[in-house]
Structure 1
Amino acid sequence: MLKPALAIMSRAPSKEGKSRLGAVLSPAQREALQWAFLEDTLDKVSRLTEFERYLAVTPSGDLNKLAKKLEFGGRVMPQSGGNLGQRMHDIAERLFLTGHAPVILIGTDVPALPPSYLQKALYLLEQSDLVFGPALDGGYCLIGMRYFEGRVFDGISWGSEKVLEETLKICEENKLSYGLLECLMDIDRPGDLLALMRQYENKKIDIELIPARTIRFLKSIEIRNLLYEEH
């Protein structure tokens, strides 16, 4: 049996990404922010020796570009096509078939994600079939599985505020036990950027968890002024 697997699900940074931030950020700024999110996330997970780490990328044609730019000590793998649920289903199934167990999937929209959050998820999987890290927008920023369970990706309203609610309903209907971590804020909208800066300025983020590249970028574009201009 191999180590537990941790897969970081990411789109290759591009000017088309993070479109919900288009009201305050230019295409080039959105791409720069995506790079900051990705690199800050990889920096956090690099400290976790209990996992075999994977970076799962879409579009798959950008694998070489990412591998060259990032100093990532894990493996890079392509995501399949389809919606988010289909892509997570595929990555989780492939990692279990490789021999990993448990398997945990995260995204890159929580750049201040504590490494201890992932360690707690691993602990909860000793007692539960699944574990979820709820997000404030009604989705989840982490899903972990003790064994492969593809049903939790079926029939979900991806991108809506009902993602976690619908997923937990599937768990309950199929008598799958699950654990819940603390709720975190993922960053999708302009107000989320300001909330992150406020957490940083008010010292609400532990110094070792500060997403340095993301904060540096937000300072460089004077995000507070941009948000005031929007209103």
Structure 2
Amino acid sequence: MLKPALAIMSRTPSTEGKSRLGGVLSPAQREALQWAFLKDTLDKARLLKEFKCYLAITPPCQINCVAQAVGLSVEVIPQPDGDLGQRMLGVAQELFIGGHSPVILIGTDVPSLPPAFLLKALALLEYGDLVFGPAFDGGYYLIGMRRFESRIFENIDWGTASVLEETVNICRKYGLAYSLLEPLADIDQPRDILDTMKIFENNKVDFTPVPARTIQFFKSLKKTCKKISQ
């Protein structure tokens, strides 16, 4: 049996990404922020020797571009086609088939995710079937599976505020034991930028390694932050 797998799910950063931040960030700024998210998340994952780390990219045609940008210390793999659920299902299935267990999937747009949460998720999977990291918007920023379970990705209204609720209902229906981590905010809306900045400023959580690129990007947004807070 191989090490547990940690798969970072990401779109290739682009000027079209994070479109809901378009009211306060230019296309170039949005792309820069996505790269900061991605590289900071990789820095976090690389320190966790308990995992074999993968970067799962969509669209697949951009794998070589992303691999060159992030270096050789992480294996870059394609996400399959489909909606978010189909893509997560496909990545998880391939990792289980490859011999990994458990498998944990995360995104890149939760820079306040402490590395300790990933280790906690791994510990919870010693006894439970699933673990979720609830996001304040009703989705989840992390999903971990002790064994492959396709049913939790079926018939979910992806992109809505009911994603986690629907998923938990499936767990209850089929008797799957699940745990929840502490809720965190992902960055999808302008206000999320300010909220995340406050978390780092309070410095009450160990974020080692500090997401330096993301924090530096936020610090460069003084005028933008004034616009958001109005």
- Same fold, TM-score > 0.5, yes or no: yes
1:227: Cα distance to partner?
Answer: 1.5
Q: Please, what TM-score do these two structures have when normalized by structure 2?
A: 0.96
C-alpha distance in 2 between matches for 1:202 and 1:135: 20
1:212: Cα distance to partner?
Answer: 1.0
Q: What's the counterpart of residue 174 of structure 1?
A: 174
Residues 95 and 27 (structure 1), Cα distance of their counterparts in 2 relative to 1, 3 Å cut: same
Q: What's the counterpart of residue 98 of structure 2?
A: 98
Whether the aligned pair in 2 keeps the contact of 1:113 and 1:209 (CA below 8 Å) is no
Following superposition of structure 1 onto structure 2, how do residues 1-231 of structure 1 map, counting pairs within 5 Å?
A: 1-71=1-71, 73-206=73-206, 208-222=208-222, 223-228=224-229, 231=230
Q: How many residues align?
A: 229
Q: Please, what TM-score do these two structures have when normalized by structure 1?
A: 0.95
C-alpha distance in 2 between matches for 1:151 and 1:62: 29
Whether the aligned pair in 2 keeps the contact of 1:41 and 1:112 (CA below 8 Å) is no
Deviation string, structure 1 residues 137-173 (Cα, Å, up to 9, x no partner): 1110000001000000001110111000000000000
Whether the aligned pair in 1 keeps the contact of 2:113 and 2:207 (CA below 8 Å) is no
1:220: Cα distance to partner?
Answer: 1.4
Mark the runs of 5 or more structure 1 residues left unpaired by the alignment: none
Deviation string, structure 1 residues 112-150 (Cα, Å, up to 9, x no partner): 321111111011001101111111111100000010000
Whether the aligned pair in 2 keeps the contact of 1:44 and 1:113 (CA below 8 Å) is no
C-alpha distance in 2 between matches for 1:56 and 1:208: 23
Deviation string, structure 1 residues 91-113 (Cα, Å, up to 9, x no partner): 00000000111100000011132
Deviation string, structure 1 residues 170-189 (Cα, Å, up to 9, x no partner): 00001111111111111111
C-alpha distance in 1 between matches for 2:207 and 2:114: 11
C-alpha distance in 2 between matches for 1:186 and 1:147: 26
Q: Aligned-residue CA RMSD in angstroms? A: 1.2
Q: Residue type matched to 1:226 in 2?
A: K
Whether the aligned pair in 2 keeps the contact of 1:112 and 1:209 (CA below 8 Å) is no
C-alpha distance in 2 between matches for 1:119 and 1:42: 15
SS at the partner of 1:7? Answer: strand
Q: Residue type matched to 2:187 in 1?
A: I
Q: Residue type matched to 1:25 in 2?
A: L
1:204: Cα distance to partner?
Answer: 3.8
C-alpha distance in 2 between matches for 1:127 and 1:14: 40
Residues 99 and 152 (structure 1), Cα distance of their counterparts in 2 relative to 1, 3 Å cut: same
C-alpha distance in 1 between matches for 2:169 and 2:39: 34
- Which stretch has the larger CA shift, 201-210 or 116-125? 201-210
C-alpha distance in 1 between matches for 2:120 and 2:201: 27
Whether the aligned pair in 2 keeps the contact of 1:38 and 1:111 (CA below 8 Å) is no
Whether the aligned pair in 2 keeps the contact of 1:42 and 1:72 (CA below 8 Å) is no
C-alpha distance in 2 between matches for 1:74 and 1:68: 11
Whether the aligned pair in 2 keeps the contact of 1:125 and 1:131 (CA below 8 Å) is yes
